[in-house]
């Protein structure tokens, strides 16, 4: 595990250095973001769900992950509304506290510790999480760009449900539940496209990383970290004290995972504070790794 963590950190550093020495054209960050969000990430999602036998009797797990993600958003919304932060920074932070980075960090860790059963529970946790990351977070990014009113609700929902990664997630879940058999060439293609996802996502994170934060950004960073992790720590400790099972262990790990990398992508696409988003995600990665070890 230590070697895997080190490699991930090194990929982030390489992305950071590549930008600093201007190795690529100025719009490289945008190109990388779109490559991840529309190609490698959907392929990874498909790969996970077509190879996992999802069970209807375990749907309590995605319900917990969805409603807990929703709770964190509501807590963040109420607290951040009372903070005097510049709009771009406030929207970036609000998007950043929503959802978890399940696939990139938890799957190898869970697989090595708890095998296929643990991996199944985490895949179920990721179903609820996906509607937060690709639904709620994406909707917030759209609202930050165009504003919101009651009359715009139907248009907003239409844009959210036409968002390609969310569509792929919904289709993947249905196909998995229906136990559809795919031709070998399709599985091989999806597997091949998913291979660079982790590397590209981490490289993109490093590419947007900037350590020059002002006082307002540092204050937002502290608030965002506390909002993300304190409810998760409390929930995990309470859950483990009243219920002992592998499913509980996986849920308690899930609610303490890092912020999703797509926060950086949304921030870049919608003209928000991608510098802050990258730093925030990087910090939650470090803390998330610590919690993975402590709550295993």
Tens-digit pLDDT profile for residues 50-103: 776 667 777 888 899 999 999 999 999 898 887 778 888 889 999 999 889 886
Residue range 239-243: mean pLDDT, rounded = 88
Residues of 64-83 as b/e, b for ≥16 C-beta within 10 angstroms?
bbbebbeebbeebeeebeee
The two three-digit tokens of residue 19, written as one number: 């930008």
Nearest to 110, CA basis, from 247, 210, 265, 220: 247
Contacts of 88 (CB under 8 A, 6+ apart): 144, 271, 272, 273
- 176-220 residue pLDDT tens: 778 778 888 988 998 898 888 878 878 887 887 777 888 888 999
Sign, CA torsion 110/115/117/123: positive
pLDDT at position 237 is: 93
Match 């036409």 to its residue by tokens.
Answer: 162
Contacts of 109 (CB under 8 A, 6+ apart): 1, 292, 296
The average confidence (pLDDT) of the chain is 83
Contacts of 268 (CB under 8 A, 6+ apart): 29, 30, 33, 208, 274, 277
Residue range 228-245: mean pLDDT, rounded = 91
Residue range 280-286: mean pLDDT, rounded = 86
CA Rg value for the chain: 18
pLDDT at position 1 is: 59
The two three-digit tokens of residue 49, written as one number: 């769900």
Residue range 97-122: mean pLDDT, rounded = 77
- Rounded CA gap, 286 and 96, in Å? 15
For residue 2, pLDDT over 80 is answered with no
- Rounded CA gap, 160 and 142, in Å? 9
pLDDT at position 72 is: 93
pLDDT at position 209 is: 78
pLDDT at position 75 is: 92
pLDDT at position 194 is: 84
Which of the four pLDDT bands, split at 50, 70 and 90, describes residue 6?
A: confident
What percent of the chain is modeled with pLDDT above 90? Answer: 15
For residue 149, pLDDT over 70 is answered with no
The pair phi, psi for residue 35, each rounded to 5°, is -65, -40
**Angle (nearest 5°) at CA 202 between 199 and 205:** 150
For residue 242, pLDDT over 60 is answered with yes
- Rounded CA gap, 16 and 165, in Å? 26
The predicted model scores a pTM of 0.83
Nearest to 197, CA basis, from 6, 10, 11, 3: 11
Sign, CA torsion 106/112/113/118: positive
How far CA 253 is from CA of 67, 94, 109, 210, 222, in Å, comes to 16, 22, 11, 29, 21
Q: Please, how many CA atoms are within 13 Å of residue 69, restricted to the half-sphere of its CB?
A: 32
For residue 256, pLDDT over 90 is answered with yes
Find which of 14-18, 32-36, 45-49, 152-156 is predicted with most confidence, using mean pLDDT: 14-18
């Amino acid at each position: 595990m230590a070697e895997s963590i080190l490699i991930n950190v090194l990929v982030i550093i390489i992305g950071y250095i590549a930008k600093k020495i201007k190795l690529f054209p100025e719009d490289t960050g945008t190109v990388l973001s779109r490559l991840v969000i529309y190609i490698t990430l959907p392929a990874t999602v498909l790969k996970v769900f077509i190879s996992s036998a999802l069970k209807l009797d375990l749907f309590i797990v995605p319900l917990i992950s969805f409603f807990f993600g929703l709770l964190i958003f509501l807590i963040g919304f109420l607290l951040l509304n009372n903070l005097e932060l510049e709009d771009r920074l406030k929207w970036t932070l609000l998007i950043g506290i929503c959802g978890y980075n399940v696939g990139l960090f938890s799957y190898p860790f869970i697989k090595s510790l708890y095998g296929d059963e643990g991996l199944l529970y985490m895949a179920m946790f990721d179903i609820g999480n996906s509607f937060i990351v690709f639904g709620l977070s994406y909707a917030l990014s759209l609202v930050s760009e165009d504003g919101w009113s009651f009359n715009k609700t139907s248009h907003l929902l239409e844009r959210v449900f036409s968002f390609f990664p969310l569509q792929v997630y919904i289709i993947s879940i249905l196909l998995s539940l229906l136990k559809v058999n795919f031709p070998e060439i399709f599985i091989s293609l999806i597997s091949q496209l998913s291979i660079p996802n982790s590397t590209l996502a981490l490289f993109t994170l490093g590419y947007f990383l900037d350590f020059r934060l002002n006082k307002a950004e540092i204050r937002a960073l502290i608030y965002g970290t506390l909002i993300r992790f304190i409810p998760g720590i409390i929930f995990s400790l309470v859950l483990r004290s009243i219920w002992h099972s592998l499913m509980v262990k996986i849920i308690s790990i899930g609610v303490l995972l890092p912020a999703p990398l797509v926060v950086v992508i949304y921030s870049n696409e919608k003209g928000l504070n991608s510098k802050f988003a990258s730093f925030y995600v990087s910090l939650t990665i470090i803390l998330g790794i610590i919690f993975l070890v402590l709550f295993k």
